[in-house]
Amino acid sequence: MHKYINQLAANDQLLIVDREVDPLYELAAVTKKVQDQGDQAIRFNNVKGTNFPIVSNLYGSRRRLCDLISAPIDGFCNTWTEILSKTDASTTAPTQKVKPPVDLVAGKLSELPLITYHEKDAGPDFTSASFRAKDPDSVVPNLSFHRSMYVNDQELRIRLGSSHDMAKYQKRAEEKGQALEAALLIGVSPEIFLAACTSIPLASNELQLAATIAGKAIDSYQCETVDLEVPATTQIVIEGRILPNELRKEGPFGEFLGYYVPEGDNHVFEISKVSWRKDALFHSVLCGSAEDLSVLEAVTAARTYKHLVSAGLPGIIDVSCSPAFMNTTIKIDQQFEGHARQVLMTAFGAGMDYNRACFVVDEDIDITNMNEVMWAYLTRGRVDKRAMILDDIPGFYRDPHKDYWGRIGIDATMPIDRKDEFIRKSVPGVDDIDLQDYIKSK
């Protein structure tokens, strides 16, 4: 984490806030303002009520995400697919056991930054914590994110997304009448953050993926109060257990879809130890912001890309999930009439949760720019013949009113036999113009 922050600073990608900032709304407001104007990361050095410096917006840039895995700007999907294949084939151990860091300090939960993000949130939340937990049956460990609401020094309330691996572990533990031990990791190195965002098969270990990205086993130490190993570079670790058969009020909270999830009966996390490295940095993620969504968009797009390529479909160039990861756009090199429709049908099978609207475009379209994608749809053929509505396909797991049911597929490609009519016009020389040579400043 420190190494990454130093790199961002050296590359002019880190803004520093020295002025005192209130963790009640003000920190989120400054973060949002920075994100509205650009993609730089931020470091808050003086946050009321805590000694921890807070960093945010570390992953809110597509360029930086590509750099983290040494991919070209339009090559995240391809490079990520190669990393996943290497991980599947890896025979080396994902972790190397080390002693707990000598600078580890034990403390109380309330010493950490308690950040309230949105107007109607029930209280402060930890939004960047990835949970380390083990499958009670197979004992394969997992990493995944679950927002956690601060209650007091002994208790957090967590909302487990039912499609996530940890929810399945919790259910299995509960069936045996057991609590599920877990460790919340706040402030992890980038490869661990990326691995935690990714959904891989239940039987796989996400630290194996982190080890592939890092190119070496992840140094990990044994927690004191739970039977789990955690990466040694983690800035802050909260150990504890999810109680079986116990639900208490959690929420409301301003969620990634842009609305509040109402108060609900959710799980209780009983804390047994809180510790941090000396000089620890706390990571804050504004839920639903570019930082939260860019990584999910990138890994969701890569999943669809891998699915299409593995299905043997030709001409798949790239996939994006901008502007929200419920939307998928696929760039193809059209090979035959009807190619785009075949791609659409296959793409829906890549993962039922998120690709509600799917577009297929030609290779000249910028798939991260929805205006371009819509322009292609509106100018390259009939709108009525190039849209397919799939009725009554279930939405994602939290959808009591079926608001997220149904899918729409849009073929926004040009007719394959009339490509010469769709050559994009261009103005020669525009890229070489420097306006300062032409316009006098007052």
Ligand X SMILES: Cc1cc2nc3c(=O)[nH]c(=O)nc-3n(C[C@H](O)[C@H](O)[C@H](O)COP(=O)(O)O)c2cc1C
Which residues inside 103-132 make contact with ligand X, applying CB under 6 A?
127-128
Angstrom distances, CA of residue 217 to CA of 1, 192, 220, 395:
17, 12, 9, 38
- Number of residues located near ligand X, criterion CB under 6 A: 18
Among 164, 171, 248, 341, binds ligand X (CB under 6 A): 164
Residue 296 interacting with ligand X (CB under 6 A): yes
> Would you state the torsion angle of the CA atoms of residues 348, 343, 411, 355, taken in this order, to the nearest 10 degrees?
20
- The least CB distance from residue 312 to ligand X, in Å, is 26
Residue 170 interacting with ligand X (CB under 6 A): no
Query: What 3-state DSSP class applies to 2?
Result: helix
> Shortest CA distance to 134 belongs to which of 95, 190, 188?
95
Are 163 and 396 in contact, with CB atoms under 8 Å apart?
yes
**Alpha-carbon gap, residue 236 to 282, rounded angstroms:** 7
Q: Which is closer to ligand X, CB of 192 or CB of 197?
A: 197
Which residues inside 181-210 make contact with ligand X, applying CB under 6 A?
197-199
**Dihedrals phi, psi of 304, to nearest 5 degrees:** -65, -40
Residue whose beta carbon is closest to ligand X? 161
- The least CB distance from residue 134 to ligand X, in Å, is 12
**Alpha-carbon gap, residue 223 to 189, rounded angstroms:** 18
- The least CB distance from residue 8 to ligand X, in Å, is 18
Residue 165 interacting with ligand X (CB under 6 A): yes
Among 44, 80, 117, 145, binds ligand X (CB under 6 A): 145
- The least CB distance from residue 3 to ligand X, in Å, is 20
> Would you state the torsion angle of the CA atoms of residues 29, 30, 34, 39, taken in this order, to the nearest 10 degrees?
-90
- The least CB distance from residue 202 to ligand X, in Å, is 8
Residue 43 interacting with ligand X (CB under 6 A): no
Among 75, 101, 107, 161, binds ligand X (CB under 6 A): 161
110: alpha, beta or left, given left = phi > 0 and alpha = psi -120 to 50? alpha
**Alpha-carbon gap, residue 357 to 329, rounded angstroms:** 8
- The least CB distance from residue 200 to ligand X, in Å, is 7
Among 144, 220, 235, 355, binds ligand X (CB under 6 A): 144
- The least CB distance from residue 294 to ligand X, in Å, is 9
Q: 436 exposed, middle or buried (CB, 10 Å; 0-12, 13-18, 19+)?
A: exposed
Which residues bind to ligand X, rule: CB under 6 A? 127-128, 142, 144-147, 161, 164-166, 197-199, 285, 292, 295-296
